[in-house]
Each structure stands twice: as C-alpha cells, then as structure tokens.
C-alpha cells in the first residue's frame, strides 16, 4: 500500500508539471500576440483626424464653460431682481456668457469646415520648401535656438522655417502679446494654445513646441504647401479651406506669407 501511494503521488506530480508547462506556453503566447493585435487594431491617424479630435475636445471644454456661466447667470439674475447685486455686475456676466457662446459657435464652424472635403491643390512656385536648411541663423538666444532645432527635428519641420515664422510673429520677444490676443514667441491664440496643451503661452519651451506642432499639422493638411501652411497659421486653416485651399484674400495674410517666403526662400540660392 505504501508503494502504491508513492507511485500515485508521482503520477499526480507528473501530470501537474505537464499542465503547468502547457499553461505557461499558452500565457507566453498570449503575451507575445497582444502587442501585435493591439498594433493591428489601432488605425493610423492623419493630420485632419487629429485636428477634428482636438477641435472636438475644445468644443467640449467651451460647452462646459457655457453651461457653468448659464447657471451662474441665472443665479445672478435672481440676485439682481432682488436688488442684491448691481446692474453693472449682472451685465458683466451677460457679456462673459455671450463671449463663451461665441467661442462655441466659432469652434463649430471650424469643425464644419474640417469636415468638408479638401479641393485639389494647385502647384505654385512657392511649393516644395521641405528640405531642412543649412543656412546659419540665430535668434540671439542659445536657448531659443536650441529649442527651435529640438522641436523642429522632433516634429519634422525645417528649423529655419520656424525661425522665419517666429521672426515675423514676435521678433523673438517671449512676452509679446498682440492686440488680437496672440501670445508668446510664436504668437499662439488662446484656442490654439489649448488645442496643443500649452498651459503657459509665455513659457518659451511650451510656446515653441505648441507652435511647431501646429505648423507641422498645417503642412500635413496642405500636402507640404508652405505658402498655405503659413496662410493657415496667420488666418486659420478654416479660412484657407473656405477659399478653396488658396491664400485667403486678406491683405494682412497675403503680406505675411509673402514676407516669410521671401526670407525663407533665400536658402534656395545657397
């Protein structure tokens, strides 16, 4: 009986080891297959899809702000009617609510334009400035120069193009603010800054990174057309699409594109 029990335990132990090995092979195979299936199931994103996604996030943010202000304004209305706050305070809330609603409307228009099919692009003499430049340039700041090269390399944008755009936008003044509200070295509008995760547009690194990403998305959207990317940077990509993927008929935008391309085009002669 003792020998039989020992034999039975050995057989049981052998079966257990075989089962454990089999389970190990199955788990190992699943671990190997998981990354492959994950990669296969994740479709690649194009610039237009990313733009739509970022606009959708921005729209949600603005809609939530409208809801918050509407609730606050309803409370203010009751306080005003009871004589607990002044008319000036109530009207201030009305203006803030109107501005928030205008932002929602503006983003909705951008989304509508982004959903429209892009017309065929026409070749122009300004197209094709894609190769990185070897020209010597400097903003006068080693840190800014280094960040331009860093993010230009990271996002595949010619650092010299970033330099030319930044020169036109802010003359390399980190604290620059335009009358329209554009901020920092690359003059990011608040909506654009929010779209690219820039929490402090006057932070040099954040500003250059956000502006470079925006410029890269514009270049992808307009098939490498530097003139249209610059027009989009100045007037908004929606305006470029509105006019059939041409430079919008705004004097400021056309002059902006002309001046930057004139400077950027010098590298062709080098």
Q: Which residues are catalytic?
A: 169
Inter-CA distances, 86 with 25, 91, 111, Å: 75, 9, 38
Tell me if residue 188 falls in helix, strand or coil: strand
Cα 201 from Cα 27, distance rounded (Å): 48
**CA dihedral sign of residues 153, 156, 159, 162:** negative
In the chain, what is the greatest distance between 2 CA atoms, to the nearest angstrom? 103
- Read off φ and ψ for residue 150, nearest 5 degrees: -60, -55
Locus of tokens 């990271």: 154
Locus of tokens 């201030």: 92
End-to-end CA distance of the chain: 96
C-beta of residue 161 within 8 angstroms of C-beta of residue 215: yes
Tell me if residue 52 falls in helix, strand or coil: helix
Cα 14 from Cα 105, distance rounded (Å): 71
């Amino acid at each position: 009986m003792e020998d039989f029990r020992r034999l039975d335990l050995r057989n049981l132990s052998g079966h257990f080891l075989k089962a454990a090995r089999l389970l190990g092979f199955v788990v190992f195979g699943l671990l190997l297959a998981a990354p492959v299936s994950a990669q296969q199931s994740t479709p690649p994103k194009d610039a237009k899809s990313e733009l739509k996604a970022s606009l959708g996030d921005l729209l949600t943010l603005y809609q939530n702000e409208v809801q918050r202000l509407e609730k606050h304004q309803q409370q203010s209305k009751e306080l005003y009617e009871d004589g607990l706050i002044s008319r000036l305070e109530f009207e201030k809330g009305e203006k803030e609510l109107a501005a928030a609603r205008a932002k929602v409307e503006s983003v909705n228009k951008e989304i509508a334009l982004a959903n429209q099919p892009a017309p065929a692009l026409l070749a122009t003499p300004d197209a094709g400035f894609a190769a990185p430049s070897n020209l010597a340039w400097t903003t006068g700041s080693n840190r800014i120069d280094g960040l331009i090269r860093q993010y230009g390399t990271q996002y595949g944008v010619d650092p010299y193009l970033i330099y030319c755009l930044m020169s036109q936008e802010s003359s390399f003044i980190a604290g620059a603010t335009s009358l329209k509200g554009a901020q920092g070295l690359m003059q990011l509008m608040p909506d654009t800054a929010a779209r690219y995760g820039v929490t402090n547009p006057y932070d040099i690194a954040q500003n250059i990174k956000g502006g470079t990403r925006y410029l890269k998305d514009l270049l992808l959207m307009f098939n490498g057309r530097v003139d249209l990317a610059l027009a989009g940077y100045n007037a908004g990509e929606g305006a470029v699409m509105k006019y059939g993927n041409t430079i919008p008929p705004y004097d400021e935008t056309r002059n902006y594109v002309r001046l930057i391309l004139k400077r950027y085009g010098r590298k062709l002669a080098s």
